[in-house]
Amino acid sequence: MSGVAAYLPRRGDAITPGLMPDPAADPSDPPTIPPPTAPAAAAPLDAAASAEPGPPKGAMFAIFLVAVMDFLGFGIIIPLLPNFIPQLDEKALETDTSAVLKVTLIFSIFSICQFIGSPILGALSDRLGRRPVLVVSQLGSAAGYLMLAVAPFTGAAMLAVVYLSRVIDGFTGGNIAAAQAYISDVTTPQTRAKGMGMLGAAFGIGFSLGPALGGILGVIGERLGHRFGVPGDLAISLPAAVAAGLAALAAYLSWSRLSETRARKPSEAEVWLHPRQLLPILRNKPVVQMLALSFFIMAAFVMMESTLVIYLRSSKHFGFDQLAAGLFFGWLGLCIVVVQGGLVGRLTRRGRGEWAMAVAGPLLVAAGMACFTATAWVPALWLLMLAGAVNATGRSLQQPAVSALMSKYASPREQGTVFGVYHGLGSLARVAGPLVAAFTYVHLRNTAQFVTAGVVAVGVGVWTFALRQRVGPPVTAAAGPEAAAVEPT
C-alpha cells in the first residue's frame, strides 16, 4: 500500500464525490468515495485534473485474482521445504540445531534479500507505477521457483542452488508491497482495512489450496519419478515447476488485467530514495510504534511457520507425510479465508474495530502458540487443529488492522516509503524468527519456539493496547492531505 493514491485530493483541488466500480465478483465490495469532511475554499479544477480517470473498472477483482495466483505458487512449496535439503536425516532434526538451521535458512536467506529490496521496490512503485513493480516481482518469483525445480538434478551443488533461488526471489520480492499499494489507490480510508482483508483472503485461498496441491503434486511426482528412476527428485521438482508457472501467470495477469492506478506526479520537493524521506516517518511516533509492533508479531509468527513442517513430520509427534502436512496448512488457510474474507470487514464497520483487532489479534496468536505447545504432551489431532485455527485467526485480525492504521496515520505522500519500510521490517522479522526457532526447537520436546513466540505475542498485545490509549487522531481525519499525524501524548 505504498504511495499517494491517485484518487486522494491534492492541495488546492476541489473534490467531487464519485462512485467506485462494484463488479459482482469483487469480494471486497468497494464503496462510494465520500466527500471531504471539511471542504475548504479551493481553486477551480483545471482541465488536466478534471480529465483524470476514475478508478479502473474491476480493479479489486483483478488484484484479487493476481494475488491468488501469486500466493498459490508460494503455498505449493511450503510442505516441501525439508525435502530441499540434501541427505537430511529427519531424526537429527529433533536434536541437532545445525540440521534445523539448514531448513530455516531457506526462510532467512529469502527474507534478508527481501529486506534489502522491499523499500526500494516500494519507492519504485510510487515513482514508476504499481503494475511494472508487480510484474518484475512475479517474474523474479518464477525464476526462483524454476531454480528450485532444477535443484534436485544438480548433485553436490543442490543446497547452493536452493539458497541461490531464495536470493533471486528475495531481491525481487515486492509483490505484496505493490499489491497493498494498489489497494490503497482504489479504496478510501474508511474501507482500507476491508481491502486489506480481501488481500488476506487471497493469501488464505492460496495458502489453503497451495500446500494441499503441493502435497498432491509431490505424490504425483514421486510416482512419475519411479518410471524414470528419480522418485525423490520429481517429488519436489514437479511442485516447484508448477509454482514457477503460477508466478509467471500472475505476472501475465498483472500486465494484461491491471490498469495503472498510481498518478506519476512526484512532488518537486521529493528526492527519490533520499534518506530525508525517512525523517518524517521517524518523527511520526504512532507509525514508528506500529512498525515495531508489526516486526515483533511477524517474528513470533514465523518462529512457528518455519518449524511447523518439521514438527508435524516428526515421528516423535504426528508423523505426517508430505500430503498430510500440506492438508494441515490448507486448514490454516481456510481459517484465514473465513476471518479476512468476512469477519474483518464486519468488524471495521464499527467505530473502534481496527484498534480492537490490533489488540485481540496478538493475544489470539499467543493462545494458539500455547495450544501448539500442548500437542507435544497431548498429540491429539483436534488440539492441533484448534491451535492452528486460533493462531491463524489472531494473525488474520492483526495484520490488516495494523496495515490500515498505518495508512491512516501516515501522510498520503509518504505512504510508499512507509509501506516499503513496513515490508522491509517484515522481511527482517522473517530473518530473525527462523533463526530464533532453529536455536530453540530442540528444547521442550521441540516446542520452545512456540513458547518464545507466545511470550512475544502477549507483549505485542499489551503494547498495542497502551498505544491506543495515547495516540491522537489519524492524519486522514485532518482537513488536508499534507497534515502530519498527531503524535501520542
pLDDT band at 51 (very low <50, low <70, confident <90, very high): very low
pLDDT of residue 476: 55
139 CB-near residues (< 8 Å, 6+ apart): 172, 247, 248, 251
Q: What is the pLDDT of residues 330-383, one digit of tens each?
A: 898 888 878 876 777 777 665 557 899 999 999 999 999 999 999 999 999 999
Is a pLDDT exceeding 70 seen at residue 53? no
Contact between 307 and 453 (Cβ < 8 Å): no
Helix, strand or coil, per DSSP, at residue 466: helix
Contact between 233 and 153 (Cβ < 8 Å): yes
pLDDT band at 388 (very low <50, low <70, confident <90, very high): very high
Is a pLDDT exceeding 70 seen at residue 29? no
Contact between 388 and 368 (Cβ < 8 Å): yes
Largest CA distance in the chain: 77
pLDDT of residue 439: 95
Give the residue carrying C-alpha cell 532453529: 438
Angle in degrees, 0-180, between the axes of helices 175-186 and 130-150, rounded to the nearest 10: 150
Q: What pTM was computed for the model?
A: 0.75
The residue ranges of every structural domain in the chain are 54-265+274-477
Q: How many CB atoms lie within 10 A of CB 119?
A: 26
Quick one: CATH architecture of 54-265+274-477?
A: Up-down Bundle (1.20)
Region 292-311: what's the mean pLDDT? 94
Higher pLDDT, 421 or 204: 421
Q: Residue 226: phi, psi to the nearest 5?
A: -60, -30
Q: Which of 101-115, 291-305, 404-418 has the lowest mean pLDDT?
A: 404-418
Residue 132: exposed, middle, or buried by beta-carbon count in 10 A (0-12, 13-18, 19+)?
Answer: middle
